[in-house]
């Protein structure tokens, strides 16, 4: 595992700038330049680097922000970017960067971190929701407008905004040395979790969204998404767009009905991916 540490010097900021180009190729205007990174860290921001063999292979960037609640504005931390070079993905580096962020921001006296991610990217959902314990009840359609980088160009930039309540027992258990056991689809089926819809299998191995979905009625609900949305986007752009618009309707309707995303399940046997939506404070026993 690489070394995780805080980055602060101008040379380190230049390395972060270059790493962005390698992680998100295709649009120079989307790169946060070194001089802005330096300004952010001098104003209370945080940049963490994952270093292996003297090379920067991953980074995390966040900064202080405000959220507006009935009692007035309160401080939070905005986690803006997390990137890892392709050969090192799925090796736990993203999790370790977030764990270091969790430790650092708690020491700043804050209790809330927010960030956005594409809800159709199952790898990101597994990290953010299942492993880190973030929750979500905010859907942001076309949040970034038209994006031009190689990973996001061509589709509406819809995003989940997740809430990471870093002082809760839920999050502390996920990040502890003995985290909760992995839940699979059977656990939720045994709990009589409602399936909101059944995607239609296609001959090419992809799934197609149905014409309609059920309204949530129980305490737990399942919402399936494509397991490899980036591959779908590359091979069948129209189908990917159909999923974007369909999932937008599903999550918007569920969030307005008082549900929130509390977990994510990857069924390896069937190569299927599911969000778990929970009604209010309901949980699956004591294992969530």
Closest by Cα among 106, 119, 115 to 172 = 106
Asked if residue 80 is part of any domain, the answer here is yes
| 199 occurs within a structural domain | yes
Token code pair at residue 96:
């370790």
On whether residue 180 sits in a domain, the answer given is no
For range 194-200, the mean pLDDT: 96
If asked whether residues 116 and 159 sit together in one domain, one would say yes
- Looking at the domain assignment, is residue 287 inside a domain? no
**Last residue of some domain: 146, 175, 204?**
175
Domain boundary at 175, 207, 225, which?
Answer: 175
For residue 221, the tally of other CB atoms under 10 A from its CB is: 25
Instruction: Residue 171: give the domain boundaries.
Output: 3-175
Asked whether residue 251 falls in the same domain as residue 217, the answer is yes
User: pTM for the full model?
Assistant: 0.91
DSSP for 99-146 reads HHHHHHHHHTT--EEEEEE-TT-HHHHIIIIIIT--EEEEEETTTT-S
Considering the domain architecture, whether residues 144 and 241 belong to the same structural domain is answered as: no
Domain end position, chosen among 124, 141, 175: 175
- Indicate the number of domains in the chain: 2
Examine the domain organization and report whether 193 and 69 are in the same domain: no
- Please indicate, yes or no, if residue 243 is contained in any of the structural domains: yes
216 and 154 within one domain: no
Are 63 and 120 contained in the same domain? yes
Helix (H) or strand (E) holding 65: strand 55-69
Percent of the chain with pLDDT over 90: 76
The confidence score (pLDDT) of residue 285 equals: 41
For 93-123, write each residue's pLDDT tens digit. Answer: 999 999 999 999 999 999 999 999 999 999 9
Dist. CA 113–CA 134, nearest whole Å: 9
Predicted local confidence at residue 185, as pLDDT: 81
* 3-state SS assignment for residue 190: helix
Residue 145 lies in a domain: yes
> Do 163 and 197 reside in the same domain of the chain?
no
CA-to-CA separations, 186 to 54, 189, 191, 199, 223, in angstroms, rounded: 44, 5, 8, 18, 15
For all residues of the chain together, what is the average pLDDT? 91
Q: Is residue 62 one of the residues assigned to a domain?
A: yes
Residue 288, domain member (yes or no): no
Please tell me the total number of residues recorded for the chain in this structure: 288
**Which pLDDT score, from 0 to 100, does residue 288 have?**
44
Distance of alpha carbon 103 from alpha carbon 80, whole angstroms:
17
pLDDT confidence of residue 29: 80
Please give the pLDDT value at position 151: 58
Q: Tell me, what's the pLDDT at 287? A: 36
The answer to whether 216 touches 239, Cβ cutoff 8 Å, is no
């Amino acid at each position: 595992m690489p070394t995780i540490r805080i980055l602060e010097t101008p040379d380190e900021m230049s390395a972060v700038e270059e790493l962005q180009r390698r992680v998100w190729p295709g649009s120079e205007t989307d790169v946060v330049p070194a001089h802005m990174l330096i300004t952010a860290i001098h104003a209370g921001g945080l940049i963490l680097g994952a270093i292996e063999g003297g090379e920067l292979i991953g980074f995390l960037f966040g900064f202080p922000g405000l959220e507006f609640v009935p009692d007035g504005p309160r401080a939070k931390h905005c986690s803006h970017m997390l990137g890892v070079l392709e050969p090192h993905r799925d090796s736990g580096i993203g999790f370790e960067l977030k764990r270091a962020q969790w430790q650092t921001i708690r020491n700043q006296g804050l209790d809330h971190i927010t960030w956005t991610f594409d809800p159709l990217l199952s790898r990101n959902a597994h990290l953010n929701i299942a492993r880190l314990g973030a929750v979500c009840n905010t859907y942001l359609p076309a949040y970034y407008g038209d994006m031009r980088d190689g990973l996001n160009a061509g589709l509406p930039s819809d995003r989940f905004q997740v809430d990471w309540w870093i002082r809760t027992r839920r999050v502390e258990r996920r990040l502890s040395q003995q985290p909760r056991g992995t839940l699979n689809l059977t656990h939720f089926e045994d709990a009589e979790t409602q399936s909101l819809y059944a995607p239609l299998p296609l001959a090419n191995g992809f799934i197609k969204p149905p014409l309609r979905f059920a309204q949530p009625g129980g305490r737990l609900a399942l919402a399936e998404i494509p397991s490899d949305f980036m591959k779908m986007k590359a091979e069948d752009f129209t189908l990917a767009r159909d999923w974007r618009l369909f999932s937008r309707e599903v999550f918007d309707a569920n969030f307005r009905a008082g549900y929130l995303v509390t977990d994510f399940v990857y069924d390896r046997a069937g190569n299927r991916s599911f969000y778990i939506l929970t009604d209010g404070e309901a949980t699956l026993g004591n294992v969530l």
